[in-house]
Amino acid sequence: MKLTGAEIFVECLKREGVKTLFALPGGVVLKIFDILYQQKELDVILTRHEQGAGHMAEGYAKATGRPGVALVTSGPGMSNVVTALVDAYMDSVPLVCFSGQVSTSMIGNDAFQEADNIGLSRPCTKYNFLVKDVNDLAVTIKEAFYIATTGRPGPVLVDIPKDVSMNKADFTYPGSVSIRGYNPTYDGNKWQIKQAAEAIAKAKKPVLYIGGGVVFSGASEEVRELAEMCQIPVDMTLMALGAFPGEHPLSMGMMGMHGTYWANMAVHYSDLVIAVGARFDDRVTGKVSEFCPYAKIIHIDIDPTSIKKNLHVDIPIVGDCKRVLRELIQVLKATVNGDQKDLRKPWWDQINEWQRAHPLAYDQDPKGPIKPQHAIKRLYELTKDRDPIVSTDVGQHQMWSAQYFKLPSPRRWLTSGGLGTMGFGFPAAMGAQAAFPDKLVLCVAGDGSVQMNMQEMATAVAHKLPVKVIIINNRFHGMVRQWQDLFYDGRYSSSDLGTTPDFVKLAEAYGAVGLRAQKISEFDAVIKEAITIDGPVIVDVPVYPYENCYPMIPAGGCNHEMILADPPELKKKISDKVTPEDKDTVVTA
């Protein structure tokens, strides 16, 4: 039987097991939306902006491990989703994005709402397709899902011209595809793995440095087994949080620019760094020439281009983290017999000393304004028994969340790491909520970044996605202000937001619930109330605006040279400042 391209599209999605589609219609995709209207299996979530659709698909993918799927129209629809594609590409999120295109006969004519979707998405997708013939549609969609989800995952764009969605073709869905130029390596080189095992057995001061690859590969159990067997401290990148239990005695928390003191000291003074599914990003390494100067480096990654991209690696192993670690554990079991407690004791004594010397700290005056760290720490403590999924936007609140949320398992942490996309958090949380309707999904946001995709509150209300948005409201672009305080002599150029909306009223205007925790004494009760409400909630938390996020390694600085608190002259300057005036939001303190 012949089906139209639009029908083939819907059939293919069903065969791929897609349940939820984040979408926004437009002229050239109307035929597809018409078919979507006539079926019940796919849940279509209509977003208010295509960027929201892209981030929702990302949140869905990060929380489930399955590809997120978005559908947008040509021209502006496509260009609006580009930010989400770039974000997904940087953070290796499996995403399949379908864009509409003008009819094949019109392509290149500067037609209405035409854009070069392939050209726009080329540098920000793992691969992209323009489907010129309806007969190629099914196999193209199969290939798109295959490429997005295998190897190092990433976003794939499929551009579907209007006539392709209208024309008819015989429908057969291929069971599998193989592409001759695309053969990811999954099994690590056995000889290299043996070298790695020998290095681990000999090391006195090893550190595991795990990244997002551990989450994608599902290698959490293996990391845990390796760490416990060999008593190795585990440093996590921003992307890896939750891949190793945050409260585990071997967990060092986050490393890097705003990582913990002990995580950064450990990696700096270690004699063996075991990097797993991480890519030596500059926010982790600091000054790359002085990153772990005393260490041998083992690097396990599925993407060969990640290895030796930024620095020299002694033992490179290309392969899937889970499979390589499994193999490595087998080798180690046979050679070291597990117990290395005695060998590692001096190393752990040193680490414990670092931990005692500079724990994460802040001063909370019980009568003063709420400190952002306090809000985030309490939020964690009040919700941890519900095992929430936590998303964040980008900025100070993101780093504090990374420091204080000690997540127990992977796929609980949704954040924009590589690209640092403000406005990511709220739609990503909604995507996760769409996948897990009964789970508590929190979005920790800043008052600056949440406004970048605020319009999606309408989507949350319409589709009953009960995300709880906690706005750490300091009326600044806080991280920008922090840098201006530290490096630009306190000149707050365009970081003072001047006025922010009344988020309680804003929530109510959208038909959601708005709450505010004005004083420290109210905070716990407000959070407890928020998480019992059956629907989307905004909790506005006005906080002390001049708080800075520490530890901090200045950009290009060395990992053991952290700033641990406001320098004295800055402290004095800030203490002279009064809280900024704000006509619309209630002023703190």
Partner 1 sequence: MEHIISVTVENKFGVLSRVAGLFSGRGFNIESLSVAPTLDPTMSMMTIVTSGDDRIIEQIVKQLNKLIDVIKVVDLNETEFVERETALIKVHTKPEDRAEALRITDIFRANVIDSTPSTYTIEVTGDIKKVEAMINLLQPLGIKELIRTGRVAIARESIRPALAQPKRVAKE
Q: Which residues are catalytic, by number?
A: 50, 112-113, 162, 479
Closer CB to partner 1, residue 111 or residue 139? Answer: 139
Query: Cα separation of 445 and 424, whole Å?
Result: 9
Helices marked H in 287-337: 321-336
Report whether 484 contacts 437 (CB < 8 A).
no
Task: Tell me whether strands 2-4 and 168-170 are parallel, antiparallel or unpaired.
Answer: antiparallel
Closer CB to partner 1, residue 176 or residue 289? Answer: 176
Instruction: Give the angle 359-495-586 at the CA atoms, nearest 5°.
Output: 80
Residue 190 interacting with partner 1 (CB under 8 A): no
**Residues 178, 289, 493, 532: which binds partner 1 (CB under 8 A)?**
178
Residue 525 interacting with partner 1 (CB under 8 A): no
Closer CB to partner 1, residue 174 or residue 368? Answer: 174
Closer CB to partner 1, residue 178 or residue 494? Answer: 178
**Residues 304, 535, 554, 557: which binds partner 1 (CB under 8 A)?**
304
Instruction: Give the angle 242-199-319 at the CA atoms, nearest 5°.
Output: 55
Residue 180 interacting with partner 1 (CB under 8 A): yes
Residue 580 interacting with partner 1 (CB under 8 A): no
Question: Taking the complex as a whole, how short is the minimal distance between the CB of residue 275 and partner 1, in angstroms?
Answer: 17
User: How many residues make contact with partner 1 (CB under 8 A)?
Assistant: 25
Closer CB to partner 1, residue 177 or residue 343? Answer: 177
Report whether 217 contacts 320 (CB < 8 A).
yes
Q: Output Rg (C-alpha) for the chain, integer angstroms.
A: 25
Closer CB to partner 1, residue 130 or residue 454? Answer: 130
Report whether 393 contacts 424 (CB < 8 A).
yes
**Residues 46, 103, 106, 182: which binds partner 1 (CB under 8 A)?**
182
Residue 139 interacting with partner 1 (CB under 8 A): yes
Residue 142 interacting with partner 1 (CB under 8 A): yes
The 8-class DSSP code of residue 309 comes to: S
Residue 105 interacting with partner 1 (CB under 8 A): no
Question: Taking the complex as a whole, how short is the minimal distance between the CB of residue 86 and partner 1, in angstroms?
Answer: 12
Q: Compute CA distances 153 → 80, 243, 300, 583, whole Å.
A: 22, 17, 16, 46
**Residues 305, 330, 337, 352: which binds partner 1 (CB under 8 A)?**
305
Cβ partners under 8 Å of residue 567, min gap 6: 486
Residue 127 interacting with partner 1 (CB under 8 A): yes
**Residues 37, 40, 110, 172: which binds partner 1 (CB under 8 A)?**
172
CB < 8 Å & 24+ apart, contacts of 142-149: 142/12, 142/16, 142/173, 142/174, 142/176, 142/177, 143/177, 143/179, 144/96, 145/16, 145/67, 145/96, 146/176, 146/177, 146/179, 147/179, 147/182, 148/67, 148/94, 148/95, 148/96, 149/66, 149/67, 149/94
Burial of 587 (0-12, 13-18, 19+ CB in 10 A): middle
Question: Taking the complex as a whole, how short is the minimal distance between the CB of residue 184 and partner 1, in angstroms?
Answer: 10
Question: Taking the complex as a whole, how short is the minimal distance between the CB of residue 312 and partner 1, in angstroms?
Answer: 8
**Residues 17, 38, 41, 119: which binds partner 1 (CB under 8 A)?**
119
Residue 386 interacting with partner 1 (CB under 8 A): no
Residue 289 interacting with partner 1 (CB under 8 A): no
Nearest Cα residue to 575 out of 550, 554, 551, 544: 544
Nearest Cα residue to 315 out of 185, 190, 184: 190
Question: Taking the complex as a whole, how short is the minimal distance between the CB of residue 99 and partner 1, in angstroms?
Answer: 15
Segment near partner 1 (CB under 8 A); pick from 124-132, 435-443, 481-489, 533-541: 124-132
Query: Tokens 């949080």 — which residue?
Result: 241
**Residues 187, 271, 282, 303: which binds partner 1 (CB under 8 A)?**
303
Query: Cα separation of 373 and 363, whole Å?
Result: 9
Residue 135 interacting with partner 1 (CB under 8 A): no
**Residues 46, 118, 563, 565: which binds partner 1 (CB under 8 A)?**
118
Question: Taking the complex as a whole, how short is the minimal distance between the CB of residue 180 and partner 1, in angstroms?
Answer: 5
Q: What are the structure tokens assigned to 310, written together?
A: 């930024």
Question: Taking the complex as a whole, how short is the minimal distance between the CB of residue 288 and partner 1, in angstroms?
Answer: 12
Contacts to partner 1 from residues 31-50, by CB under 8 A: none
Closer CB to partner 1, residue 65 or residue 304? Answer: 304
Closer CB to partner 1, residue 123 or residue 437? Answer: 123
Query: Cα separation of 11 and 15, whole Å?
Result: 6
Query: Tokens 């100070």 — which residue?
Result: 396
Question: Taking the complex as a whole, how short is the minimal distance between the CB of residue 115 and partner 1, in angstroms?
Answer: 16
Q: What 3-state class would DSSP assign to 75?
A: coil
Q: Report residue 552 CA to chain centroid gap.
A: 20
Question: Taking the complex as a whole, how short is the minimal distance between the CB of residue 304 and partner 1, in angstroms?
Answer: 5
Query: Cα separation of 294 and 265, whole Å?
Result: 12
Question: Taking the complex as a whole, how short is the minimal distance between the CB of residue 122 and partner 1, in angstroms?
Answer: 6
Burial of 345 (0-12, 13-18, 19+ CB in 10 A): exposed
Contacts to partner 1 from residues 49-88, by CB under 8 A: none
The 8-class DSSP code of residue 372 comes to: H
**Residues 32, 57, 144, 147: which binds partner 1 (CB under 8 A)?**
147
Question: Taking the complex as a whole, how short is the minimal distance between the CB of residue 454 and partner 1, in angstroms?
Answer: 32
Residue 533 interacting with partner 1 (CB under 8 A): no
Residue 179 interacting with partner 1 (CB under 8 A): yes
Segment near partner 1 (CB under 8 A); pick from 51-59, 115-123, 347-355, 553-561: 115-123
Q: What are the structure tokens assigned to 398, written together?
A: 């993101």
Binding residues for partner 1, rule: CB under 8 A, are 118-119, 122-123, 126-127, 130, 139, 142, 147, 172, 174-182, 303-305, 308-309
